[in-house]
Amino acid sequence: MKQIAAAVMSLLVLLSACSRLGLGEQSCEPHVRVPTAANILAAQSVPTARYTPCFVTIDPGWDHVEFEAESGRAGIAIVEGTDTFLAAIVTESCDVGDAIRRDSGVPDVERYEDVTHIPSLITVAVVPASAQQLSYAIGLIDLWQAVELDERPVRLDLDDDTAADISTRLAAAAMRSDFVWFIDELDAAELTVELRTVGGQNFSRITPAEALDQIEDLAPSPVYEGNWFFRFEGGCITYVFNAEKRMADAAPIAAEENLGFYPAFELRERTDRANR
């Protein structure tokens, strides 16, 4: 049960403030107001760590935030429903594995990312076989551009380079979009499309509405899973993402905008001074 020290400390955290690290912003002092017990406990959990995670702002739309601290590990988490879609955990070290290095924007912090992102936006490339089907394709885009599938927006992109080789165009469309609507002469005459998926499935002579139904079934669920690692002197902060559906797009934004690092050394020293 000890791990249940995952205390719901919304009030404490709401009072907290911390600096935003990365993305070019280095200064933290102006944001530091009154450190809370949550901040200090996090700083105490990994005494060697230069930074400790904290909330820059609390989004009022979140269900609640949680705080957890124990020796060697501390973290904050954003919970939607019963799932934690984003957590920031400080430890003494971390294994970045095959994560890709990114620029942290801070000289003494190394940033790595190892994530899988399937956005909620579904892209469909509309590829008319020739110029004769162009007007039908434009009509389809006008008609279906605002459609949403299972609360996911759909964007239809027109490939109007009808002079190019069709196989090259289809390959390119498949590369940049989730689905392809191929339209030949007969489709234009019968008001149908050929739906092509990235996986190689084809559905010929189906209406655009049927094609959208298929897309709704076949489109992979939006997700943002994986880790961001921030390595620095004496510690590592890992952002753990486990966001699905509508949170898949929100998670990385929340991580950038709402989470930050607190200068832990300074916090520990300040607390010690205040208590003696």
Would you tell me which residues interact with other proteins (CB under 8 A)? 1-5, 7-9, 12, 36-38, 40-41, 44, 47, 68-72, 268, 271-272, 275-276
Sorted by sequence, the CB contacts under 8 Å of residue 253 that are 6+ apart come out as none
- Of the two residues 1 and 146, which places its CB atom closer to other proteins in the complex? 1
- Of the two residues 24 and 72, which places its CB atom closer to other proteins in the complex? 72
- Of the two residues 12 and 149, which places its CB atom closer to other proteins in the complex? 12
- Of the two residues 46 and 173, which places its CB atom closer to other proteins in the complex? 46
Q: Shortest Cβ distance from residue 95 to other proteins (Å)?
A: 21
Cα separation, 209 vs 149, whole angstroms: 11
Long-range contacts of 72-81 (CB under 8 A, 24+ apart): 72/45, 72/46, 73/45, 73/46, 74/41, 74/42, 74/45, 74/46, 75/42, 76/13, 76/38, 76/42, 76/259, 77/6, 78/254, 78/258, 80/247
Q: Shortest Cβ distance from residue 17 to other proteins (Å)?
A: 16
Q: Shortest Cβ distance from residue 57 to other proteins (Å)?
A: 20
CA nearest to 149, candidates 253, 81, 220: 220
Q: Shortest Cβ distance from residue 195 to other proteins (Å)?
A: 46
